[in-house]
């Protein structure tokens, strides 16, 4: 294969784009896709400080790497979930990445914030592990951003992640998630920061290739609690469709964002309040995170 841009030897073929690239041109392509996502959805400006949620995996570290290379003021945020060796290794990957690039990294312990690490939260509550983990992540990312003056949180969700989420929502016709699915969620309350996904135009294969070519050392293992997760089944289904019809994920997600999402946007906004205990945003009087913390406390 030859690189479409320079004619040199290609290292990666992107079937959904019907192109192949050499290493330097692929890296340029990857950064261009991130910049286009930022521009198209007005995710943030160069004057803003960004908080990048990093897990130690390829996607979040690739995103942080691009933002730093592009000259953004990007601070990493690692949420220590306390998941045995998995969390210890993923934290070490984030710390090594930050040290190697001289980038700031903030670390927040779920155990300190909720009263127990995620495995103990699972045992103490009736919530599925992924549900409790997701709730904690969303709450703590927003809290950290507010406390340290970051107007926006960037996450490493890629095209595969977004297409799988959309597939699950459509499969069950979950209208509220469909209304919220977007590469850029605006702030709808003074205590809610913007949330953006600059990698939504790039596939999991592409982020893995970028991380490899950039020499990024990331954790390869999946979270031990992810086994059997419905999202992985949805990804597998979409991967088989993509193999048969390259570009299927792209068309599915982009078609929804361009033509379908508006139909699910709520006619009237949800009324947002501040939690009577922690002050974070909720639709009731006590936020779900504080309720989760109460469950953990009662179990002890």
32 CB-near residues (< 8 Å, 6+ apart) = none
Token pair in block for residue 152: 């926006």
Quote the pLDDT of residue 228.
Answer: 87
Helix H or strand E encompassing 274: strand 273-274
CATH topology of domain 23-271: Rossmann fold (3.40.50)
Quote the pLDDT of residue 80.
Answer: 97
pLDDT digits (tens, 9 = 90+) for 132-179: 999 999 999 999 999 999 999 999 999 999 999 999 999 999 998 999
CA distance 21 to 14: 8
Percent of the chain with pLDDT strictly greater than 90: 92
Neighbours of 111 (CB within 10 A): 15
What are the boundaries of each domain within the chain?
A: 23-271
Q: Give the chain's end-to-end CA distance (angstroms, integer).
A: 61
**Ordered DSSP codes for 160-229:** HHHHHHHHHHHHTT-HHHHHH--SEEPP-STT--EEE-TTTTS-HHHHHHHHHHTT-----SPPTT-TT-
CA 230 vs CA 144, 171, 175, 191, 238: distances in Å: 29, 12, 18, 31, 13
Quote the pLDDT of residue 127.
Answer: 81
The low-confidence residues of the chain, meaning pLDDT below 70, are 266-269
Q: Model-level pTM?
A: 0.95
In this structure, the chain runs to a length of: 300
pLDDT digits (tens, 9 = 90+) for 244-254: 999 999 999 99
Quote the pLDDT of residue 267.
Answer: 58
């Amino acid at each position: 294969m030859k690189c479409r841009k320079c004619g040199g030897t290609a290292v990666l073929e992107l079937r959904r784009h019907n192109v192949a690239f050499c290493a330097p041109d692929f890296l340029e392509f990857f950064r261009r896709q991130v910049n286009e996502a930022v521009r198209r959805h007005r995710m943030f400006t160069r004057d803003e400080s960004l908080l990048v949620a990093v897990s130690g995996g390829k996607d979040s570290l690739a995103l942080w790497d691009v933002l730093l290379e592009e000259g953004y003021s990007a601070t990493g945020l690692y949420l220590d979930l306390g998941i045995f060796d998995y969390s210890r290794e993923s934290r070490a990957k984030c710390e090594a990445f930050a040290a190697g690039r001289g980038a700031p990294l903030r670390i927040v312990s779920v155990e300190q914030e909720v009263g127990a690490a995620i495995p103990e939260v699972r045992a103490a509550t009736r919530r599925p592990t992924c549900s409790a983990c997701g709730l904690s992540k969303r709450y703590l990312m927003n809290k950290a951003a507010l406390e340290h003056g970051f107007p926006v949180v960037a996450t490493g969700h890629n095209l595969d992640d977004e297409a799988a989420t959309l597939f699950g929502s459509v499969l069950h016709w979950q209208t509220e998630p469909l209304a919220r699915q977007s590469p850029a969620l605006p702030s709808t309350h003074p205590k809610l920061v913007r949330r953006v996904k600059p990698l939504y135009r790039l596939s999991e294969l592409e982020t893995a290739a970028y991380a490899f070519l950039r020499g990024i050392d990331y954790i390869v293992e999946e979270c031990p609690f992810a086994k059997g997760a419905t999202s992985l089944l949805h990804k597998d289904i979409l991967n088989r469709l993509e193999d048969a019809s390259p570009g299927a994920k792209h068309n599915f997600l982009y078609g929804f964002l361009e033509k379908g999402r508006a139909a699910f946007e709520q006619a009237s906004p949800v009324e947002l309040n501040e939690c009577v205990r922690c002050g974070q945003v909720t639709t009731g009087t006590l936020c779900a995170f504080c309720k989760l913390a109460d469950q953990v406390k009662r179990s002890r």
